[in-house]
Amino acid sequence: MNPMKTLGSASGKRLLRRAILATRWPISVMCRTIVAIGLAVVSAQIARSQETGNAPESTPPSGPPVTVRGTVTNTATGQPLQRALVRIYGSPERAALTDEEGKFEIHGIPAGLHTFGVIKPGFGAQMFLDGEGRNSAPTVRVASGMPDLSLSLSPNNAIFGHVSLSTGTSAQGIGITLIRKTVVDGRANWSEGEHHQTTPDGAFRFSGLADGTYLLLIQPESDSGFAVEPSCDANATAEISGYAAQFYPDAQESAAAARIVLAGGANAEANLILHPTKFHLVEAKLTGTPTGPDWEVTPTLLDRSGQDLDYPFHQEKNHSFCAYLPDGAYTLIASAQAEVRGPSTPGSEAADKILLGSLDFSVDGQPNRSLRLPLALGSPTPIHLRYEPAPPTPPKAAAPSVGGADKTAEAEDDETGPPFSLSASPVNSFAGQGNTDGGGNLDSQALQTADGAYELEPTSPGAYWISASAGQKGVCLGSVTSAGQSMARTPWVAGAGGAGPPIEAVLRTDCAKLTVHMPITLAAETPGEGTTLYVYLLPEFDSLQELSGTQLEQFGDREATLDDLTPGTYRVFAFRTPQSIEFRNPDALAQLGTGQKITLAPRADASLLLEGVSK
Amino acid sequence: MITMITAQNSHGVYKTKSLRSAAIVFLAILLTPILAPAQQPARRAAAPTPAKLYPIAGTVTDSVTGELLSQTTLTLCRISTRDMLQTTMTGADGRFELAPMPAGKYALVASRRGYITNEFDAHEEFSSAIVTGDGQDTEHIPFRLNPGAMIRGFVTDDAGEPLEGATVLLMRRTKSGGLGEHLVKSIQGTTDDTGLFELWDLVPGAYFLAATANPWFATHPFHSADEAANDEASADEAALDVAYPVTYYPGTTDEAAAAPIQIASGDRVQADMAMHAVPAMHITVHMAEANPAQQDANLRPAIRQTIFGNQDFPVSAPAQPGPPGSDLMEFAGIAPGRYTVEQWNPHRLAELDTAQSQQVYLSAGSPAYSVDIKLRMADGTVHPTPLNLILVSDDAIRRQISAYATDKSAARFDAVPPGKWIVLAENRSVPLAVVSIQTSAGATTDGRIVVHDSRLSATVTLAQGKTGIEGFAKKNGKGEAGVMIVLVPKDPAASPDLFRRDQSDSDGSFLLRDAAPGEYRIVAIEDGWGLDWARPEIISPYLKGGTPVTVTGQSGASMQLTIPVAVQPR
């Protein structure tokens, strides 16, 4: 995995967490002060429970023990669920199994707030969310005379099936990759999930799947060991028989692949028959490799949708690549780095250099041994940052001072990453962030040079979506443009050498603040299960900022402040479960409804009472 | 030809993804190609006349049905380096034809979906090389490929619900290694959400199956003295404080009652198992006092389950230290069974059978003792490195403990359970001869040590086998392929370390590598692969018909047998 990659996605999570923390502190501190006057011993307990994050923060469990009763149901069928484990986290940690009628009873629970969990194999798959995934773990106010609890679990889905070969041969060792639709940075994305190989009976099974949309990619010749090894020998066989990679059921291109939509505990059967086809020997010679150091070349073969194909390569030392490929259209991407021999000298010319190139070609009924893939020296793209309005003294850019200064104010936030971040992700939804397996990940990141300037590292030629984050306190992201185009609407294009037109980013210093409050209807401290709301702010203007959001708890923080917001108009949505929102897809946004509109003026300190919960 | 598989640096082939299955790894190692070295053209230049070429062709059939197999990939490799030379595929008639090659020895590998990838006429780790040359028929190679066998089954819990995530261990009875018949780990699997496990690519033989799992709902509380739980609450807790004992096919928790599963090529065997939760136990470990200066002073002891003598199954049991100042560690959630408990600082090992005790003493009276070994070579040279010393329990289980020799020609086994142990030594998978062992009790030549109730020091004298014995196995005056060749030492019972084996190549030739000085008989047994050859009573009937040979320190690297070894029927 590219280590730089984690920075981009992690910063989004950090942002969300920081927004929550910023408002939680005053409330927690207030609570602690009140408790400390009454009972000093208990405040130590609170501090501990905050560290472990197990129990809710506001009040510790106290009072006479209560018997908690309730029912667990299957959300898909509404039927009671037997042998589900209901757990109470924290101290005392207690649990019970439900009976045949889905009923449970846990004795001797001290009155107060507790976190409950429900577990059963085959239920409760983790959703893959834009922000932080969260299992259903309701906070419950336990009190004598409390109502019976109604808890529920969602059944997991599965895809299973049989592959057979038209020749009647055993379909053992056929590689099958599950591809899942996810939302990455507000856009739909296809991410590689689990990979299986078929059993000698040709069987496969993917289980524990959350509701969602899936594709199956079948790669019979990927590392299966049953194929004829490619060779660049002059007398190598020009044509062999094999099974071409395809999407279920028989699509060459991802666009034509069957979407497998799973919900409510579905067991989808996906059987398919593979027919042998001719594979032709293809040889690509890299050109433009400078003499001098040895270059370590990484080739990646993609189909036209950007999906990494797993056909075995043979690599010759003279930088020829040979592979047997079926008819089709391909993109071969190569990057080369100087092989470091012995003790490396940091900053030495060869060590920093990267060569990039890509080649589109087709295989059409015959071998082709004359492909040329030109490599060009990679060059970065400059990023120009501008502050608006210009601050009297420009905010310090160096990362260490940010971490040092904030340490006392935000003890739990150990963020020391770069204050500004920007990344480019392929427009092609199969080649993006999710594909950490193999060479499919083509994301690139902004790096800070020694003199404090930013540049985007060279990447493979092609079109990219840009995302960015202001990062610093008191600064929010304004417009991001390149060649006069807003990067929120138009992709950025990298040419040969992996560079594109310079990127202009505006960082605003007149950011607004918004405090959101839980609806009045959810403000009561009634016994039983508490509500958690997940609040999202969707900008009505061009924005490359990650989604702003926060979380409100009926039995905890009923208000939260989001700061460093870019001034402008937003729509605010509150949900009972975390959502992954395609906020950069106008069609998906239209389906969300109107939400609550609010316009934030520059430097505004606004407040919003949520009117209700979105479906 | 010996196919001791040795890892080599991989050049030449680039794969975009890591290898994914054991079968592939096997093939990859077999086929690891090496770039043609620079000296090759020079060698060609030295031989100006073009070498005579010989055809390599044959058919591939299913070893069970005799059916001709199309779509089978054949790979020809150089025997010495395992360079991949060429690959081809069988046609619809099951026939293959490789490009003609100069006279020499080649390894031929076949692979096909649903079959076990193998070299020609493979038995255990041996196979027959294809020998091309004048008078050799290499145009009609009858390659019989074994269909892989499979064991599958559903594992269920007390409620009859599928048990997901159970670990299934498959052991196979083997006769290889010169240690007599014993069990080795074959493969390990995990059940899916339907409770199903499937273990495939199995070679024929007798197998034993065991399953381990933790009840998914189990919670294992620790109670401190000041925590008084009420009756209802403690009943809640007891219902969930359960564990699964290791369950052996066909459904017993008694290892001795486990039943073998006989597997033939291409078999599909269904082996369902039910696991039953029982109240979990607490185990109290009395630890030895740690040296606080060492980094790992705070590592808690590890508990491993012992299944068929295999100790690779760590138990993830919750643990809680005893009162401050005590040397106690309490483990909860332990199922009845046999365990090994290991402490790292100081290194201590103890065996535990919960039927007898729930207390483990690593502190004093530890039931395992250290064994210190000093090494010397019989010829006064420095021993080869790396040198791996292995203690094998001299019983039916054949438990193995190994340690590497230090550069001071010493090796230390920290914790050896009492009993009789066979001492073996090897350098890069090549065995060394154990000449004698000297302990305070005296010198022995039977290659064994006995651990009683105290630590043991021993001086082990080793000799390196450096002689390759080359010869021909012949039947009625004709070279016989695929025969098991055994180099049998004069005293077979005392010298498991001196045995060597090979399989004859297509022309009947064989090479017994790394033979140590000593007196031997070489026997060639047709279809001898099922024999428990290392047992004296099994091999002795063949000795009379064998060929005597004496290896001395002066024998050099290669001995050629002038007379062929007669092939004996089994």
Is residue B11 in some structural domain?
no
Identify the CATH number of the domain defined by range A157-377. 2.60.40.1120
Q: What is the mean pLDDT of residues B143-150?
A: 95
CA-nearest residue of chain B to A207? B193
Where in the sequence is the domain holding B163, given as residue range(s)?
149-278
Amino acid making up residue B143: F
List pLDDT tens digits, range A257-289.
Answer: 999 999 999 999 999 999 999 999 999 998 887
Q: Do A225 and B221 touch (CB under 8 A)?
A: no
Does the structure show a pLDDT above 70 at B354?
yes
Strands A421-426 and A462-469: antiparallel
User: From the candidates B90, B113, B163, which should be mutated to test the interface with A, based on the most A CB atoms within 10 A?
Assistant: B113
Q: Which of residues 55-94 of A touch B (CB under 8 A)?
A: 65, 67, 83, 85, 87, 92-94
Write out chain B residues lying below 8 Å of A207, CB-based: 192-194
CB-CB under 8 Å, B114 with A97: no
Report whether pLDDT(A188) > 80. Answer: yes
Pairing of strands B509-515, B467-475: antiparallel
Residue B2 counted as domain residue: no
User: Smallest Cβ distance to A94: which of B117, B159, B236?
Assistant: B236
What integer pLDDT is reported at residue A292 of this predicted model? 62
The CATH number of whichever domain residue B482 belongs to comes to 2.60.40.10
**Considering the domain boundaries, does residue B165 fall inside one?**
yes
The pLDDT score that the predictor gives to residue A406 is 34
The minimum CA-CA distance between B226 and chain A, rounded to whole Å, is 13
Instruction: Provide the chain A residues 179-218 that lie in CB contact (below 8 A) with chain B.
Output: 195, 197, 199-201, 203, 205, 207-208
**pLDDT score for B31:** 37
Q: Are residues B440 and B554 in the same domain?
A: no
For chain B, give the percent of residues with pLDDT over 90: 53
The arithmetic mean of pLDDT across residues B143-165, rounded, is 96
Total number of domains constituting chain B: 5
How far is residue B110's CA from residue B27's CA, in Å, rounded to a whole number? 10
- Contact (Cβ atoms closer than 8 angstroms) between residue A277 and residue A245: no
Burial of B429 (0-12, 13-18, 19+ CB in 10 A): exposed
Of A95, A175, A312, the CB nearest to B219: A95
Are B20 and A223 inside 8 Å of each other by CB?
Answer: yes
Of B463, B495, B522, which closes a domain? B463
Q: How confident is the model at residue A431 (pLDDT cuts 50, 70, 90)?
A: low
Amino acid identity of A251? A
Which pLDDT score is estimated for B444? Answer: 86
Put simply, the answer to whether B113 touches A224 (Cβ < 8 Å) is yes
Q: Do A315 and B16 touch (CB under 8 A)?
A: no
B542 domain residue, yes or no: yes
> Are B273 and B207 contained in the same domain?
yes
Count CB neighbours of A29 within 10 A. 10
Asked if residue A303 has pLDDT above 50, the reply is: yes
Q: How far apart are the first and last CA of chain B?
A: 20
* Other Cβ atoms closer than 10 A to B291: 10
CB burial of A257-287 (b: ≥16 within 10 Å; e: otherwise) equals beebebeebbebebebebebebbbbbbbbbe
CATH topology of domain A512-609: Immunoglobulin-like (2.60.40)
CA atoms within 13 A on the CB side of B31: 29
What confidence tens digit (pLDDT) does each residue in B436-472 have? 999 988 888 888 999 887 889 999 999 988 899 999 9
Residues of B in contact with A269 (CB under 8 A): none
State the pLDDT at residue A579.
85
- Which pLDDT band holds residue A290 (cuts at 50, 70, 90)? low
Q: In a 3-state reduction of DSSP, which class is residue A479?
A: strand
**What average pLDDT does this structure show over B372-393?**
91
pLDDT of residue A203: 96
pLDDT confidence band for B280 (50 / 70 / 90): very high
pLDDT at B430: 84
List B residues 412-451 in contact with A (Cβ-Cβ < 8 A). none
Q: How confident is the model at residue A462 (pLDDT cuts 50, 70, 90)?
A: confident
Place of tokens 């000795």: B543
Residue B12 included in any domain: no
Q: Do domains A13-153 and A512-609 have the same CATH topology?
A: yes
Residue A204 has pLDDT above 90, yes or no: yes
Q: How confident is the model at residue A441 (pLDDT cuts 50, 70, 90)?
A: low
pLDDT tens by residue, B551-567? 988 888 899 999 999 99
Out of A143-157, B65-79, B168-182, which region has the weakest mean confidence (pLDDT)? B168-182
Contact B155, B195 (CB under 8 A): yes
pLDDT value at residue B553: 80
Chain B closest-CA separation from residue A177 CA (Å): 13
CB atoms near residue A336 (< 10 Å): 24
pLDDT averaged over every residue in chain A: 79
For B90-195, strand residue ranges (E) read: 95-102, 104-111, 118-119, 130-132, 141-145, 149-156, 167-174, 182-190
Q: Chain A closest CA to B241's CA: distance in Å?
A: 11
Mean pLDDT check: name the lowest of A37-41, A78-82, A153-157, A511-515: A37-41
pLDDT at B543 (0 to 100): 95
CATH number at residue B70: 2.60.40.1120
| Domain boundaries of chain A, sorted by first residue | 13-153, 157-377, 378-508, 512-609
* pLDDT band at residue A393 under the 50/70/90 scheme: low
Q: How far apart are CA A559 and CA A551, in angstroms?
A: 9
Q: Evaluate whether residue B202 is within a structural domain.
A: yes
| Other Cβ atoms within 10 Å of A374 Cβ, number | 16
Predicted confidence (pLDDT) at residue B36 exceeds the cutoff of 70: no
Q: What average pLDDT does chain B have?
A: 85
Q: What angle do CA A447, A448, A452 make, to 5 degrees?
A: 165
Average pLDDT for B499-509: 95
Instruction: Kindly tell me if the per-residue pLDDT of B41 is higher than 70.
Output: no
Chain B CB contacts of A283 below 8 Å: none
Q: Is A96 an interface residue toward B (CB < 8 Å)?
A: yes
Please check whether residue B14 lies inside any domain of the structure. no
Asked if residue A54 has pLDDT above 70, the reply is no
The residues, any chain, with a CB within 8 Å of residue B97's CB and separated by 6 or more, are: B55, B56, B57, B88
Q: Are residues B354 and B321 in the same domain?
A: yes
**Taking a C-beta distance cutoff of 8 angstroms, is the pair B286, B331 a contact?**
no
Contacts of B12 in chain A (CB under 8 A): 314-316
Put simply, the chain B residues between 190 and 219 with a CB less than 8 A from any chain A CB are 192-194, 198, 200-201, 216-217, 219
In this predicted model, what pLDDT tens digit does every residue of B218-260 receive, in sequence order? 988 886 544 545 677 777 788 899 999 999 999 999 999 999 9
A205 to B75: CB separation less than 8 angstroms, yes or no: no
pLDDT score for B14 = 31
pLDDT band at A596; cut points 50, 70, 90: very high
Residue A17 has pLDDT above 60, yes or no: no
Count of C-beta atoms within a 10 Å radius of residue A71: 19
Rounded to whole angstroms, what are the CA distances from A553 to A12, A139, A529, A530, B202? 21, 9, 11, 7, 56
Q: Are residues B207 and B305 in the same domain?
A: no
* CA A540 vs CA A125, A465, A480, A599, B387: distances in Å: 33, 19, 16, 9, 71
**Is pLDDT larger for residue A11 or for residue B428?**
B428
Which one of B9, B10, B11, B17 would you mutate to disrupt binding with A, by most A Cβ within 10 Å of its Cβ? B17
Q: Among A531-535, A577-581, A595-599, B29-33, whose mean pLDDT is lowest?
A: B29-33
Specify if B6 maps to a domain.
Answer: no
Final residue before a domain boundary, out of B313, B341, B361: B361
pLDDT for res A226: 74
Do A199 and B217 lie within an 8 Å CB cutoff? no
- One-letter amino acid identity for A1? M
Q: Which helix (H) or strand (E) holds A67?
A: strand A65-74
In this complex, the residue of A83, A203, A222 whose CB is nearest that of residue B17 is A222
Q: In the listed set B119, B145, B171, which residue is the last one of a domain according to the structure?
A: B145
Distance from A307 to chain B by nearest Cα, in Å? 13
Question: Using 50, 70 and 90 to split pLDDT, how confident is the model at B308?
Answer: confident
- When CB atoms are compared, the residue of B18, B117, B165 closest to A225 is B117
Mean pLDDT of B38-58: 65
Say if residue A37's pLDDT is above 60.
no
Per CATH, the number for A13-153 is 2.60.40.10
- What is the pLDDT at residue B330? 92
Q: Are B217 and A200 inside 8 Å of each other by CB?
A: no
Facing residue for A312 by CB, picked from B15, B21, B35: B15
pLDDT bracket for residue B84 (50, 70, 90) = confident
B12/A25 Cα distance (integer angstroms): 59
How far, in Å, are A124, A160, A264, A420 from residue A76 at the CA level?
Answer: 12, 20, 5, 44
Q: Do B448 and B351 have their domain in common?
A: no
pLDDT of residue A445: 85
Residues B289 and B355 in one domain: yes
Cα–Cα distance for residue pair B93/A181, rounded to 1 Å: 45
Identify from B9, B14, B163, B230 which residue to disrupt to test chain A contact, counting A C-beta atoms within 10 A and taking the largest count: B14
| Strand runs labelled E in A243-399 | 246-247, 260-262, 267-269, 272-274, 277-287, 295-303, 313-315, 320-326, 328-338, 354-363, 368-374, 376-377, 381-388
**Residues in chain B within 8 Å Cβ distance of A172:** 113-114, 148, 200
Q: What is the mean pLDDT of residues A484-506?
A: 92
Rounded to two decimals, the pTM is 0.82
A400 vs A418, more confident: A418
| pLDDT in the model for residue B177 | 66
Which residue among A107, A231, A241 sits closest to B232, beta carbon to beta carbon? A107
